[in-house]
């Protein structure tokens, strides 16, 4: 951890006693938990290496985090927000040995989970996100910079899949054959979504764009949602993307790379999450948004399956993998979930 220690010194040049431990689970950035001991005081931070192959202009993510944090604080948002630590030069990140690093204050007395445990929890998280959007409602969207311009562009996801099919090596094509067949058979599924996007029928709001369960912190004492983290993908888009991704993540009873179809979906969590989400958002959702609420999870899960499969075919170049067929297992997990969601 010698390198990380030198990186910490860009933020705290006098730091001496530093403990650094990896936090696993993110598929894009690399994250560490950091403890800095100074005289009597000990402070905790999150150190992250930003994946600059994905986030090519990291300053824009930091700028968005600052704008949204300041806005929420000005509105007296009653939960912790993300706080970036400046370097001694006053920058929001430091470059070390070609890598870009940032430091965030750790939100104390909190923990994360990987699978939602019960309906009360699903309801509470749905309402928690709903409240987040309610507080964000008045924000000036011009202040938000586009970090990943094509992220929500469904058509380009389909094109990327077609290209991957053409260039994949034969062993991966054979291995993934069943998943490829299923995805190709359901290519119609996202077409109405593409139309809604092209006809600009979905209201543009500030969305999180990655509300998966591991991006919610829970309070160590009350066990209630405490904070929403990972604001890298804050962007303009349809709130249906976030709702769909919440259903994708919170109704899945298995880890995201578990290919076993048995009991992968919990319909009670679906209803509880939707109820919680609507208690806060019903007041401002448009007719089109409400009508398409059941459709959103279908598309978002389909696209997520497609993204994992595309990456598998491309040789695992986008998502971090800890074993060879992880992207294929992730694809199967999403397809299994989607098969159930299509029956809701």
Q: Quick one: which of 198, 78, 60, 181 has its CA closest to 128?
A: 78
State yes or no: residue 210 binds ligand GN1 (CB under 6 A): yes
Question: In this complex, which beta carbon is closest to Mg ion, that of residue 77 or of residue 151?
Answer: 151
Question: In this complex, which beta carbon is closest to ligand GN1, that of residue 12 or of residue 318?
Answer: 318
Question: In this complex, which beta carbon is closest to Mg ion, that of residue 230 or of residue 245?
Answer: 230
Count of residues that interact with ligand GN1, criterion CB under 6 A: 10
Binders of ligand GN1 among 222-241, rule CB under 6 A?
A: 230, 233
Residue 147, SS3? coil
* 211 touches 131 (CB < 8 A): no
Selected range binding ligand GN1 among 26-34, 86-94, 163-171, 195-203, rule: CB under 6 A: 26-34
**How would you classify the pairing of strands 235-237 and 205-207?**
antiparallel
Task: Report the nearest approach of ligand GN1 to the CB of residue 75 (Å).
Answer: 25
Task: Report the nearest approach of ligand GN1 to the CB of residue 89 (Å).
Answer: 27
Q: Quick one: which of 252, 289, 234, 290 has its CA closest to 122?
A: 252
Selection from Mg ion, ligand GN1, none that 54 binds (CB < 5 to 8 A by kind) is: ligand GN1
Select the residue interacting with ligand GN1 from 208, 212, 226, 332 (CB under 6 A): 212
State yes or no: residue 256 binds ligand GN1 (CB under 6 A): yes
Residue 17, SS3? strand
Selection from Mg ion, ligand GN1, none that 292 binds (CB < 5 to 8 A by kind) is: none
Select the residue interacting with ligand GN1 from 8, 10, 20, 27 (CB under 6 A): 27
Beta bridge partners of 207: 235
For 77-215, list the strands marked E by DSSP.
94-96, 99-105, 110-111, 205-207
Question: In this complex, which beta carbon is closest to ligand GN1, that of residue 215 or of residue 266?
Answer: 215
State yes or no: residue 54 binds ligand GN1 (CB under 6 A): yes
Residues that bind Mg ion (CB under 5 A): 210, 230
State yes or no: residue 242 binds ligand GN1 (CB under 6 A): no
What is the layout of strands, in order, in the sheet containing 110-111? 110-111, 216-219, 225-228
Q: Which residue's Cβ has the minimum distance to ligand GN1? A: 28
For 136-184, list the strands marked E by DSSP.
none
- For residues 214 and 240, give the distance between their C-alpha atoms in angstroms, rounded to a whole number: 19
- For residues 155 and 194, give the distance between their C-alpha atoms in angstroms, rounded to a whole number: 7
Q: Quick one: which of 217, 209, 337 has its CA closest to 270?
A: 337
Question: In this complex, which beta carbon is closest to ligand GN1, that of residue 43 or of residue 320?
Answer: 320
Residue entry with tokens 């991704």: 245
Give contact residues for ligand GN1 (rule: CB under 6 A).
Answer: 26-28, 54, 210, 212, 230, 233, 256, 304
């Amino acid at each position: 951890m010698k390198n990380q220690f030198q990186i910490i010194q860009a933020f705290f040049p006098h730091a001496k006693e530093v403990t650094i431990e990896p936090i696993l689970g993110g598929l894009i950035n690399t994250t560490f938990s950091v403890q800095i001991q100074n005289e009597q005081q000990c402070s905790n931070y999150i150190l992250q290496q930003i994946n600059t192959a994905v986030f090519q202009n990291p300053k824009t993510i930091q700028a968005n985090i600052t704008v949204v944090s300041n806005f929420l604080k000005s509105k007296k948002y009653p939960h912790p927000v993300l706080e970036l630590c400046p370097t001694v030069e006053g920058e929001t990140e430091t470059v070390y040995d070609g890598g870009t690093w940032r430091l965030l204050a750790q939100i104390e007395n909190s923990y994360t989970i990987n699978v939602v445990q019960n309906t009360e929890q699903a309801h509470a998280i749905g309402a928690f996100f709903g409240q987040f959007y309610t507080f964000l409602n008045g924000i000036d969207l011009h202040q938000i910079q586009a970090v990943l311009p094509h992220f929500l562009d469904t058509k380009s996801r389909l094109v990327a899949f077609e290209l991957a099919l053409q260039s994949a090596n034969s062993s991966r094509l054979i291995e993934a054959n069943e998943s490829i067949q299923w995805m190709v058979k359901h290519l119609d599924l996202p077409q109405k979504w593409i139309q809604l996007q092209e006809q600009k029928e979905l209201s543009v709001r500030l969305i999180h764009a990655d509300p998966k369960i591991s991006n919610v912190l829970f309070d160590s004492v009350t066990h209630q949602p405490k904070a929403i983290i990972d604001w890298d993908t804050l962007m303009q888009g349809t709130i249906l993307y976030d709702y769909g991704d919440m259903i994708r993540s919170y109704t899945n009873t298995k880890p995201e790379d578990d290919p076993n179809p048995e009991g992968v979906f919990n319909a009670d969590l679906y209803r509880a999450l939707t109820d919680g989400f609507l208690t806060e958002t019903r007041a401002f959702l448009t007719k089109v948004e409400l009508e398409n609420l059941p459709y959103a999870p279908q598309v978002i899960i389909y696209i997520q399956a497609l993204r994992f499969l595309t990456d598998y075919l491309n040789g695992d170049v986008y998502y971090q993998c800890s074993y060879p067929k992880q992207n294929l297992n992730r694809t199967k997990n999403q397809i299994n979930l989607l098969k159930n969601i299509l029956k809701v």
